[in-house]
Amino acid sequence: MREGTSADAVEGIIPKFVAEPASAEEVTATLEQAARDRLSVVTRGSGTKLGWGPPLQSIDILLSTARLNKVVAHRHGDLTATIESGATLANVNRELAAHRQWIPLDPYSGDRATIGGIVATNDSGPRRHRYGAPRDLIIGVEFARADGVIARGGGIVVKNVAGYDLPRLMTGSFGCLGVILTATFKLYPLTASSQTLVVDLRDTRQLAALAGSILASHLTPTALEFQTPPLRLLLRFESIDASVQQQSATARQMIDSAGLSARTVTGDDEAELWTRYGAPRAAGAAVKVSAMPTELASTLTLLDRLAAGNYSANGRAGLGVFVLHLDGDAAALEKIVVGLRESLPAGRGSAVVMKGPVDFRKQVDVWGPIGDGLPLMKAVKQRFDPDSLLNRGRGPGGL
Amino acid sequence: MLPYGVNATFLAKLEEIVGHAYILNDPNELLTYESDGLARLHAKPGCVLLPGSAADVQQIVRQCHQHRIPFVARGHGTGLSGGALPHPDGVLIVLSRLNRILEIDIANQRVTVEPGVINLDVTKCVAPQGYYYAPDPSSQLICSIGGNVAENSGGAHCLKYGFTVHHVVGVEAVLPDGEMVHLGGPALDAPGLDVLAALVGSEGTLAVVTKVTLRILRAPERVRTILAAFESTDAAGAAVSEFIAAGIIPAAVEMMDRLTIEAAEAAVHPNFPKAEAVLIVELDGTQSEVDGLFEIVEAICRRTGGTEIHIAKNNDERARIWRGRKAAFAAMGRVSPNYYVQDGVIPRTKLSEVLGRIRALEKRSGLRIGNVFHAGDGNLHPLICYDEQIPGQGDLAEKVGAEILQYCIEAGGSITGEHGVGVDKSAYMAKMFSESDLDTMQKLRCAFDPASLCNPGKVFPTPRLCGEVPGPYRQHPAERAGLAERM
Ligand SMILES: Cc1cc2nc3c(=O)[nH]c(=O)nc-3n(C[C@H](O)[C@H](O)[C@H](O)COP(=O)(O)OP(=O)(O)OC[C@H]3O[C@@H](n4cnc5c(N)ncnc54)[C@H](O)[C@@H]3O)c2cc1C
């Protein structure tokens, strides 16, 4: 452990100490000391998501997972891999590609984001449409609790119902229950062929109709995305070549008969399109919105009114989950988020602030209503981290 | 005599909640509820309740909490690990009357049901529109969605589509203190800790589920099924490895060995070839994808020594193949007076090694062992044959089952892939997990159920108390209602 410097600052806050453990034992030692001296701990992967949640007040120990960055095991015959939390997704997938396999996650900033950070935030990208989120792919976890004790849940086999599902409990826990050391995933084979169709749309009615008919069809796209402005639908097929060609042809017919036209993107252009896709704005706020897929169009129409057209958005048209990028001062931003939440009753949607100016995040309820499950979640936090040392106040619902 | 706690006053209160017809405490009426699918174990509950609504469930649990009476939820009692085994000093809450399908939302691919709804009925209600509910346990004609949620049930098609946890998006549940919570919902990514995922697979030890929102899937355009016979389970296993190496994830890959093939043949005549092993491989998806990959699968089966290959020509033939597979457990009754179903998991690549050990064990113990497995995900179901009439054989079968679990653990696998730990396997938890792993799971249990009333004595090897954690004071509903005070 060393003293923090301005180079370690998170949103202007310099941690008192920085720990860069290289082993599980060192993580334990750090946490034991933190528990003894009641020091608060903020866990950092590569820092791509440290702006999520309410702003930090102070940091006693910044625990970086950067040196825990190995692929512990790639069991290609079993289609599983165990990875240390500080490894970046991009490096991991490069390594797994040696056997033409991958963890089918493609969150934006996937080249820098670490496995631990992705699991802790349950972050995903366009291919969630087909492959699911980290929650759907994780099969095992090893983490250090607030008291430094190391615990495991799940295992290295894809099918396993022994004991409580700690891997999924840790997924999306925003580091408030423990420090993830390793995660084990089920893997997928890389596909042989890929093609993307881009459809320009006039209005959200067209979006609803086209996305709806694709969902109701037999097509099995790996991504079904919308983007605005300008309003577009993106449809990606990945499989063996014959299937990509057939599906793409079928989809183009559907698009034609809706009176629209599709641009087909392949090869390097396609790779380029998806690498740049979903890049956040440098400034402004980002809000993760979830709605019922059939209410996506009306949610966008509402946004047109609330944000007076001054927003951009992109996300999963088939799942109803998207990222909203906003500009404006804290008061204006808050008004939009609050207005949006009014149309999203608990269970049927949510709007969570992921990123934004500190003054905005200070004043807005970052998570929005959690519902009647909140006391239970608090009880879980209390049992796992009774002194609230881990990512204090930054867990979902302010845990 | 009524057990301590479940006394006449308490029973009267419960009767008020559910009505006279739905409280059972006559010893004869209780018989049906003494065991679940693990008939070896039985216990008589203090009483059985058949609530007709979620509100009834909540009131029952409140009563139990107030009087510190343990309670056990039961769906349709098909569980194979004793999860629904009653507590002798407690009440059994049977959810079979909560059997309504509440909402079907095809456009958003959601169905909301009460927990007593039968698994297959979910598919039946959306099949006319071309949709289905993916998790397909062999017991899907009889088991409940509530039981599926509690066990995180799987089935043959879970290789490609995942288990119950992948298809449950929201639940309403009554916590052990009687509070009702709504976790998740029809929309994805409800903010908050994923306590919903923790509840799935918790074997009824964390809450009583009263409503479930499920994801349904569009039925695939094309499904093709192949049945291939092999000279050995190793050869069949080699074929499976090659599918994976070729980048193919079939919808299902099932393997049966000679004994289970014979049994299935005797019971339901699926017309399986006489062989040391058969593989059933099913592909689904778009027409072009299925046809393209099917060619590769067929070629692999031939190359790795498939002797006889049958390709289902139509739905009837496909159904016949699956009938043979799904009847495998029950069919063992045709070849052995008694049998014990084991459920363990190994990394798929250890198949040959572990099967070798099981064969050696068969010789050593003198008990025949049939094997059916979900070969794609390494989930073994050894069926250990024995004869109750022969003294000691029942115990021997259990010992053999335990030894197989040990092989699974040594291979890096799990003591259960789908049937759960229940009471049956709680003793093996400590072999698979360390003391601190179990202690951590215990923290989760204590967060849900600090008073240890919800299906106590299941899953964990030694019952533990939660200890006092100075936490935010939560007023008990009865206190709030002015019915009780904290002393
Ligand atoms: C022939 C046969 C084949 C089988 N095949 C498979 C298979 O292929 N795959 C598989 O996964 N399983 C299989 N099973 C096991 C069993 O069918 C499943 O575990 C099923 O999910 C149990 O459902 P149930 O309604 O019978 O639950 P029960 O046996 O009544 O209960 C099981 C557990 O769930 C809890 N529970 C039930 N309802 C609720 C509720 N509403 N809230 C909270 N807890 C609840 C109980 O307390 C208990 O712990 C098979 C069983 C048989 C007999």
Looking at residue B330, its pLDDT comes to: 84
DSSP state of B436: H
Looking at residue B39, its pLDDT comes to: 87
Question: The CATH number of the domain where A337 resides is what?
Answer: 3.30.70
Q: Mention every residue, 6+ apart, whose C-beta is less than 8 A from residue B462.
A: none
Which chain A residues contact residue B293 at CB under 8 A? 240
Radius of gyration of chain A (CA): 21
Closest CA to B379 of B414, B427, B345: B345
Q: How large is the ipTM? A: 0.97
SS3 A320: coil
Looking at residue B14, its pLDDT comes to: 97
Residue length of chain B: 487
Nearest ligand 1 atom to alpha carbon B204: 44
- Judge if A167 and A79 occupy the same domain: yes
Q: Answer positive or negative: Cα dihedral of B186, B188, B192, B198.
A: positive
Q: Mention every residue, 6+ apart, whose C-beta is less than 8 A from residue B199.
A: B149, B171, B173, B183, B206, B207, B209
CA of B153 to the centre of ligand 1 (A): 7
Radius of gyration of chain B (CA): 23
Burial class (CB in 10 A: 0-12, 13-18, 19+), A98: exposed
- Judge if A170 and A216 occupy the same domain: no
The alpha-carbon gap from A307 to the nearest alpha carbon of chain B, in Å, equals 23
The 10s digit of each residue's pLDDT in A54-75 is 888 889 999 999 999 999 999 9
B222-329: CATH number? 3.30.70.2190
∠ CA A130-A134-A139, rounded to 5°? 110
Looking at residue B486, its pLDDT comes to: 36
Is any Cβ of chain B less than 8 angstroms from the Cβ of A348?
A: yes
Cα–Cα dist B217/B65, whole Å: 39
Looking at residue A110, its pLDDT comes to: 65
- Judge if A272 and A308 occupy the same domain: no
DSSP state of A397: G
The 10s digit of each residue's pLDDT in B279-292 is 999 999 999 999 99
Interhelix angle A296-306/A204-216, rounded to 10 degrees, is 160
Looking at residue B474, its pLDDT comes to: 47
Cα–Cα dist B407/B358, whole Å: 8
Cα–Cα dist B41/A359, whole Å: 61
- Judge if A116 and A12 occupy the same domain: no
- Judge if A265 and A296 occupy the same domain: no
Q: Mention every residue, 6+ apart, whose C-beta is less than 8 A from residue A134.
A: A105, A118, A119, A122, A123, A124, A171, A172
Looking at residue A56, its pLDDT comes to: 85
- Judge if A120 and A204 occupy the same domain: no
Q: Report the residue from A79, A159, A163 with minimal CB separation from B429.
A: A163
Over its length of 399 residues, how does chain A's per-residue pLDDT go in tens digits? Answer: 899 999 999 888 999 999 999 999 999 999 999 999 999 999 998 877 777 778 888 899 999 999 999 999 999 999 999 999 999 999 999 999 999 999 999 998 768 899 999 999 999 999 999 999 999 999 999 999 999 999 999 999 999 999 999 999 999 999 999 999 999 999 999 999 999 999 999 999 999 999 999 999 999 999 999 999 999 999 999 999 999 999 999 999 999 999 999 999 999 999 999 998 988 777 899 999 999 999 999 999 999 999 987 899 999 999 999 999 999 999 999 999 999 999 998 889 999 999 999 999 999 999 999 999 999 999 999 999 999 999 988 888 888
SS3 A7: helix
Cα–Cα dist A35/B447, whole Å: 21
Cα–Cα dist B411/A306, whole Å: 57
Strands B91-94 and B47-49: parallel
- Judge if A165 and A237 occupy the same domain: no
Is any Cβ of chain B less than 8 angstroms from the Cβ of A249?
A: no
Residue A372, domain member (yes or no): no
Q: Which CATH architecture has domain B101-218?
A: 2-Layer Sandwich (3.30)
Contact B431, A175 (CB under 8 A): no
The 10s digit of each residue's pLDDT in B172-217 is 999 999 999 999 999 999 999 999 999 999 999 999 999 999 999 9
Q: How many domains does chain A have?
A: 4
Interhelix angle B233-245/B351-365, rounded to 10 degrees, is 160
**CATH top class, domain B8-94:** alpha beta
Cα–Cα dist B63/B68, whole Å: 8
The greatest distance separating any two alpha carbons of chain A, rounded to the nearest whole angstrom, comes to 68
β-sheet bridge partners, residue B430? none
Domain boundary among A189, A206, A231: A189
Residue A374, domain member (yes or no): no
Residue A371, domain member (yes or no): no
DSSP state of B427: G
Residue A375, domain member (yes or no): no
Q: How far is CA B427 from CA B405, B432, B452, B458, in A?
A: 11, 10, 19, 10
Question: The CATH number of the domain where A21 resides is what?
Answer: 3.30.43
Looking at residue B462, its pLDDT comes to: 79
pTM of the model: 0.96
Nearest ligand 1 atom to alpha carbon B164: 11
Cα–Cα dist B89/B331, whole Å: 36
Test mutation, B58, B163, B175, B193, chain A, max A CBs within 10 A: B193
Phi, psi angle pair for B296, to nearest 5° = -65, -45
Q: Which domain holds residue A317?
A: 285-363
SS3 B11: helix
Q: What token pair was written down for A140?
A: 């095992």
Amino acid residing at A178: G
Residue A110, domain member (yes or no): yes
Looking at residue A47, its pLDDT comes to: 78
* B455 CB near ligand 1 (under 6 Å): yes
Residue A217, domain member (yes or no): yes
Which chain B residues contact residue A376 at CB under 8 A? 175, 181, 195, 447-448
Residues in chain B where the model's pLDDT stays below 50: 1-3, 469-487
Question: Which strands, in side-by-side order, build the sheet including A71-75?
Answer: A71-75, A80-84, A179-186, A138-144, A150-154
Q: Mention every residue, 6+ apart, whose C-beta is less than 8 A from residue B156.
A: B136, B138, B252, B254, B282, B322, B325, B326, B374
- Ranges in chain B annotated CATH 3.30.465.10: 101-218
Q: What token pair was written down for A396?
A: 């979902």
Cα–Cα dist B162/A160, whole Å: 12
The greatest distance separating any two alpha carbons of chain B, rounded to the nearest whole angstrom, comes to 75
Q: What token pair was written down for A135?
A: 């929650």
Cα–Cα dist B91/B47, whole Å: 5
Question: The CATH number of the domain where A141 resides is what?
Answer: 3.30.465.10
- Judge if A117 and A169 occupy the same domain: yes
- Judge if A12 and A49 occupy the same domain: yes
- Judge if A224 and A331 occupy the same domain: no
- Ranges in chain B annotated CATH 3.30.70.2190: 222-329
Cα–Cα dist A242/B287, whole Å: 10
Of B153, B163, B196, the residue with max ligand 1 atoms within 8 A of its CB, to mutate for a pocket test, comes to B153
Looking at residue B40, its pLDDT comes to: 86
Cα–Cα dist B235/A22, whole Å: 43
Helix (H) or strand (E) holding A193: strand A193-200
- Judge if A98 and A177 occupy the same domain: yes
Q: What token pair was written down for A207?
A: 């979006």
- Ranges in chain B annotated CATH 3.30.43.10: 8-94
**CATH top class, domain B336-410:** alpha beta
